[in-house]
Amino acid sequence: MERSIKAALGMTGAMVALAMAPMAHAGENGGGAYPLGAESLAVAQVPPPGTYLLTYTNYYTADRLNDAHGNSAVPGFSVDAFANIARIVHVTHRKLLGATVAMQAFVPVVDLTVHAAGARQNKFGLGDLIVNPLILSWRKDKLNIVATMDTFVPTGRYRAGDLANISRNYWTFEPVLAVTYAGPKGGPELSAKLMYDFNTKNAATQYSSGQDFHADLAAAYNFNPLTVGVAAYYDKQTTDDRQYGVKVGPDGYRGEVFAAGPLLRYQLGHVPITAQWQHEFVANNRTQGEKFWVKAAFRF
Mean pLDDT of the chain, nearest integer? 90
Quick check: 7 pLDDT over 90?
Answer: no
pLDDT at residue number 29: 66
pLDDT at residue number 131: 97
pLDDT at residue number 20: 36
Quick check: 277 pLDDT over 80?
Answer: yes
Above pLDDT 90, what percent of the chain?
85
Question: What is the tens place of the pLDDT at every residue in 20-57?
Answer: 333 333 467 666 789 899 999 999 999 999 999 999 99
Backbone angles phi, psi at 141, to 5 degrees: 55, -120
pLDDT at residue number 184: 82
Quick check: 271 pLDDT over 60?
Answer: yes
Q: How far apart are CA 35 and CA 287, in angstroms?
A: 12
pTM (predicted TM-score): 0.90
Question: What is the tens place of the pLDDT at every residue in 148-186?
Answer: 999 999 999 999 989 999 999 999 999 999 999 998 888
Q: How far apart are CA 74 and CA 50, in angstroms?
A: 48
* Structural domains present in the chain: 2-299 (2.40.160.40)
pLDDT at residue number 261: 98
pLDDT at residue number 2: 45
Quick check: 71 pLDDT over 50?
Answer: yes
Is residue 52 within 8 Å of residue 5, measured between CB atoms?
Answer: yes
pLDDT at residue number 295: 97
Other Cβ atoms less than 10 A from the Cβ of 48: the count is 15
pLDDT at residue number 1: 47
- The predicted model gives 5-18 an average pLDDT of 38
pLDDT at residue number 300: 86
pLDDT at residue number 12: 32
Backbone angles phi, psi at 279, to 5 degrees: -100, 130
More confidently predicted of 9 and 263? 263
Quick check: 18 pLDDT over 50?
Answer: no
Inter-CA distances, 228 with 41, 153, 222, 225, Å? 10, 35, 7, 10
| Angle (CA) 164 88 17, round 5° | 20
Question: What is the tens place of the pLDDT at every residue in 231-240?
Answer: 999 999 999 9
Quick check: 9 pLDDT over 90?
Answer: no
